[in-house]
């Protein structure tokens, strides 16, 4: 019996070693490229700056209120905290000693110089789709920045997630490198939109569900973002943020200004529009609209089994009339000023009726503004109501707007509100 156990353990060890050997990244052959591809020319730098905006690289690689691209931002994950690296061209602490090939390997394969595997908090499962030409332009732009001497902070991950051998196993299961391949049957605009959404812009990194090991699925069907405590709604479901029945011009307007006739962006998406999407060309925003409208529709939302309690709806209506109706209207249709959307409609607003009410709760508690953009330089905002309303009152008003004017969603409870009361908007 003892011998059988020992043999079983030996077999398992051999199998584990074989799997790790398969998963461990190998040096890849990279064809020689002309230095002109990443030379610090005005054209290369300008192209790279645009691509860095489109990919919103600065958002993660910049600590709040600190030097752009110098790293240090803490990203909370279920496995511990990841600290983003310095990607300024400092030779000791940044990427100043990296070659263009080194940069390509990081973006395409998730491998740092020396062979160290990067954690997928850096969205290389998406950026692997970026073309080499775009990677070289990004490299040229980042090399043009002023170097910042700031050592990278070590990640604070729990065992065993802090081990490279575990990361090798994760890559074997969930990562396959590959540049985006255009689909010949689709239009140029559709392919460009797919490249931006799935690859360079890595929308899928937030808007896709993650499994227990942090790997994203293949659908843009919504997902929680542990690092910031928000829910990124499904882009393939019209009852959430799906855009299948939106006018393309309104999608472009939302991406580039943060507001549109049918809604506005708040929270982390406001930051994305402010730092990234507002700088897209009309053609690129239009391409994203074409792609997003083509996503296969997800099943409709399940109607709640029972309406919310009458006393909760009554309390919520009174609170809404006192705190909300002046801006959003007694009928929930929102307010337009000078023909432009100022306060978004609540009637038929999928952002309110998602199964998880976290976004609606946090907006009521903390308030918020759409981003200030060239197309909407002075956005109208919402004040925080956490000082005036207790947990039960916030639950009541959120329940009311989720179940009025044709909306239907599960009731919100006071404990759900309390969970988010002390969490900053970030």
Q: Does the pLDDT at position 4 exceed 60?
A: no
Going by pLDDT thresholds of 50, 70 and 90, the confidence category of residue 357 is very high
User: pLDDT tens across 176-218, in order?
Assistant: 999 999 999 999 999 999 999 999 999 988 888 888 888 887 6
Q: Does the pLDDT at position 15 exceed 50?
A: no
**Cα separation, 254 vs 379, whole angstroms:** 13
Query: Where is pLDDT greater, at 199 or 33?
Result: 199
For the segment 23-41, the average pLDDT, to the nearest whole number, is 73
Q: Does the pLDDT at position 321 exceed 50?
A: yes
User: pLDDT tens across 403-412, in order?
Assistant: 999 999 999 9
For the segment 391-406, the average pLDDT, to the nearest whole number, is 96
* Bridge partners (DSSP) listed for residue 341: 336
* Bridge partners (DSSP) listed for residue 156: 81
User: pLDDT tens across 361-374, in order?
Assistant: 999 999 988 898 99
* Bridge partners (DSSP) listed for residue 376: 373
Going by pLDDT thresholds of 50, 70 and 90, the confidence category of residue 104 is very high
Task: Decide which of 1.10.760, 1.10.8, 1.10.10, 1.10.3470 is the CATH code for 188-294.
Answer: 1.10.760
Contacts of 233 (CB under 8 A, 6+ apart): 207, 222, 240, 241, 350, 351, 354, 359
**Cα separation, 425 vs 64, whole angstroms:** 13
Q: Which two tokens stand for residue 262?
A: 């049918």
Q: Classify 274 as helix, strand or coil.
A: helix
Question: Are 138 and 107 contacting, i.e. CB atoms less than 8 angstroms apart?
Answer: yes
For the segment 269-293, the average pLDDT, to the nearest whole number, is 95
Question: Are 11 and 159 contacting, i.e. CB atoms less than 8 angstroms apart?
Answer: no
Going by pLDDT thresholds of 50, 70 and 90, the confidence category of residue 255 is very high
**Cα separation, 167 vs 129, whole angstroms:** 20
**pLDDT above 90 as % of the chain:** 64
**Cα separation, 261 vs 242, whole angstroms:** 15
User: pLDDT tens across 65-75, in order?
Assistant: 899 999 999 99
pTM of the model: 0.88
DSSP 8-state assignment for residue 128: T
Distances (CA, A) of 141 to 41, 53, 55: 9, 11, 13
Nearest to 275 by CA among 56, 108, 13: 56
Q: Classify 206 as helix, strand or coil.
A: helix
pLDDT of residue 241: 74
**Cα separation, 233 vs 221, whole angstroms:** 7
pLDDT of residue 246: 87
**For 180-204, b where at least 16 C-beta lie within 10 A, e where not — what string?**
beeeeeeeebbbbbbbbbbbbbbbb
pLDDT of residue 140: 97
Nearest to 255 by CA among 193, 171, 297, 180: 193
**Cα separation, 339 vs 349, whole angstroms:** 20
Task: Decide which of 3.30.300.30, 2.20.25.90, 1.10.760.10, 1.10.287.110 is the CATH code for 310-421.
Answer: 1.10.760.10
Going by pLDDT thresholds of 50, 70 and 90, the confidence category of residue 281 is very high
Nearest to 206 by CA among 359, 103, 353, 366: 359
Q: Classify 425 as helix, strand or coil.
A: coil
For the segment 53-64, the average pLDDT, to the nearest whole number, is 94
**pLDDT above 70 as % of the chain:** 90
Nearest to 122 by CA among 165, 175, 82: 82
Average pLDDT for the chain: 88
């Amino acid at each position: 019996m003892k011998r059988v156990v020992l043999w079983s353990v030996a077999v398992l060890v051999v199998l584990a070693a074989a799997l790790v050997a398969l998963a461990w990244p190998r040096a890849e052959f990279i064809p020689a490229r002309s230095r002109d591809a990443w030379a610090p020319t005005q054209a290369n730098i300008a192209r790279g700056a645009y691509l860095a905006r489109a990919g919103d690289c600065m958002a993660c690689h910049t600590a709040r209120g600190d030097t752009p691209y110098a790293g240090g931002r803490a990203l909370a994950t279920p496995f511990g905290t990841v600290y983003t690296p310095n990607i300024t061209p400092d030779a000791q602490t940044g990427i100043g000693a990296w070659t263009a090939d080194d940069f390509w390997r990081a973006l395409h394969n998730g491998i740092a110089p020396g062979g160290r595997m990067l954690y997928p908090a850096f969205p290389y499962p998406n950026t692997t789709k970026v073309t080499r030409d775009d990677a070289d332009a990004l490299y040229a732009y980042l090399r043009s920045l002023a170097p910042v001497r700031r050592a990278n902070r070590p990640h604070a991950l729990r065992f065993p997630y802090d081990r490279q051998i575990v990361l090798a196993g994760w890559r074997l299961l969930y990562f396959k490198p590959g540049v985006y391949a255009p689909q010949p049957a689709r239009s140029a605009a559709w392919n460009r939109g797919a490249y931006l959404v799935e690859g360079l812009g890595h929308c899928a990194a937030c808007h896709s569900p993650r499994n227990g090991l942090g790997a994203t699925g293949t659908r843009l069907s919504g997902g929680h973002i542990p690092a910031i405590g928000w829910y990124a709604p499904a882009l393939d479901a019209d009852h959430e943020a799906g855009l299948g029945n939106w006018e393309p011009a309104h999608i472009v307007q939302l991406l580039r200004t943060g507001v549109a006739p049918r809604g506005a962006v708040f929270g982390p998406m406001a930051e994305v529009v402010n730092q990234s999407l507002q700088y897209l060309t009309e053609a690129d925003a239009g391409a994203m609209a074409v792609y997003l409208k083509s996503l296969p529709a997800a099943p409709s939302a399940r109607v709640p089994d029972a309406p919310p309690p009458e006393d909760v709806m009554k309390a919520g209506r009174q609170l809404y009339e006192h705190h909300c109706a002046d801006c959003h209207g007694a009928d929930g249709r929102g307010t337009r000023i000078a023909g432009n959307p100022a306060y978004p409609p609540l009637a038929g607003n999928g952002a309110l009726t998602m199964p998880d009410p976290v976004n609606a709760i946090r907006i009521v508690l903390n308030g918020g503004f759409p981003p200030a953009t060239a197309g909407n330089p002075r956005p109208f905002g919402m004040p925080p109501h956490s000082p005036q309303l207790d947990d039960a009152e916030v639950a009541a008003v959120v329940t009311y707007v989720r179940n009025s004017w044709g909306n239907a969603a599960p009731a919100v409870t006071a404990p759900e509100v309390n969970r988010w009361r002390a969490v900053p908007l970030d």
